[in-house]
């Protein structure tokens, strides 16, 4: 009988109140039993610490650190993790109760450079039954690295908790989240992971719930723009010996500037003008001209 390897579920939290309990509960209630739940409190200023200790006692591993952002919290969780596989779960998201079992079955027969990903649905943070759309983010088998590089966020979106990773990618190959990036540290990390040409398997089922919450980091378009462009520039430097990748990344940089053109430097400078003026500019001035001011 094949052994059931340990899975480390890493949950960063910062002043997340009751939603983090829901994330913890869906982790503890997985049908796959050999798992550890690591909650990294990223400097919460509310009663998170007391609440988690009171409700969960020794059923979770609680780690507290000064506020470093989501990437720093995940890195702390990785350092604490003992599992053969790693599952990331943001505090406001949820896992299907069969997720770990299904993806472990896929991965445990594969080499150490392997990962699985699944379908997901977007839903309301207040009521998981209020769903919006099932998303099937299928990566091309021949070159998934290019899909991550060129389609992320515009044609392709895979929330972090859709993945289950072999922990060797982090423990042995040194993958980590860049704590200096204001956003898109996940894309930057996935670029590094997929550059290793890992075995990638797909679970054709909804196993993750991406819950929409007002005020989330993804709603800050200026922060997302800055983080994405910074991450692209970092990847350009990292891949400067690979001319073909550099050229594609430069194309992608211009595409992201277009995607976030509503928060470009010029558009921010136009804050003194009425919305109708900004709308007319975006709709009537050709992008080639807009780029001159970006």
DSSP codes, 209-254: EEEE-TT-GGG-HHHHHHHHHHHHHHHHHHTTT-HHHHHHHHHHHH
pLDDT at 1: 43
With pLDDT > 90 as the criterion, what percentage of the chain qualifies? 75
Quickly count helices (H) and strands (E) in the chain: 12, 9
The overall pTM is greater than 0.85: yes
For the chain, the average pLDDT equals 91
The CATH number assigned to the domain with range 7-216 reads 3.90.550.10
User: Please, where are the H alpha helices in the chain?
Assistant: 18-28, 48-56, 69-80, 99-107, 144-151, 168-171, 185-194, 221-238, 243-259, 265-269, 275-284, 287-290
Cα 248 to chain center, whole Å? 22
Question: Which is more confident, 278 or 44?
Answer: 44
User: Strands 61-65, 85-88: parallel, antiparallel or unpaired by DSSP?
Assistant: unpaired
Determine contact, residues 255/154, Cβ cutoff 8 Å.
Answer: yes
Question: Which is more confident, 193 or 280?
Answer: 193
Tokens of 56: 């969960």
How confident is the model over 100-147, as pLDDT tens digits?
999 999 999 999 999 999 999 988 777 665 667 788 888 988 899 999
| DSSP assignment letter at 161 | G
How confident is the model over 207-227, as pLDDT tens digits?
999 998 665 566 689 999 999
Least confident of 150-159, 165-174, 274-283: 274-283
């Amino acid at each position: 009988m094949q052994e059931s390897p340990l899975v480390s579920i890493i949950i960063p939290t910062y002043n997340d109140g009751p939603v983090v309990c829901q994330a913890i509960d869906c982790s503890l209630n997985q049908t796959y039993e050999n798992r550890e739940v690591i909650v990294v409190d990223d400097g919460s200023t509310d009663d998170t610490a007391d609440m988690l200790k009171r409700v969960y006692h020794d059923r979770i591993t609680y780690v507290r650190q000064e506020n470093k952002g989501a990437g720093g919290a995940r890195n702390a969780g990785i350092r604490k993790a003992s599992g053969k596989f790693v599952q990331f779960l943001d505090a406001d998201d949820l896992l299907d109760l069969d997720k770990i079992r299904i993806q472990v079955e896929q991965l445990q027969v594969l080499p150490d450079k392997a990962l699985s990903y699944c379908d997901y649905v977007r839903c309301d943070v207040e009521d998981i039954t209020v769903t919006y759309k099932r998303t099937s983010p299928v990566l091309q088998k021949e070159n998934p690295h290019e899909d991550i590089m060129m389609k992320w966020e515009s044609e392709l979106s895979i929330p972090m908790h859709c993945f289950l990773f072999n922990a060797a990618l982090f423990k042995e190959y040194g993958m980590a989240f860049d704590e200096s990036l204001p956003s898109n540290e996940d894309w930057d990390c996935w670029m590094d992971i997929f550059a290793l040409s890992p075995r990638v398997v797909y679970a054709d089922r909804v196993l993750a719930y991406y819950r929409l919450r007002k005020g989330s980091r993804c709603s800050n378009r200026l922060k997302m723009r800055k983080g994405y462009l910074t991450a692209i520039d970092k990847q350009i430097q990292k891949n400067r010996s690979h001319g073909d990748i550099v050229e594609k990344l430069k194309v992608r940089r211009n595409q992201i500037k277009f995607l976030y053109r509503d928060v470009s430097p010029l558009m921010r400078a136009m804050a003194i003008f009425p919305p109708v003026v900004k709308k007319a500019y975006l709709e009537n001035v050709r992008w080639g001209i807009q780029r001159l001011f970006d």
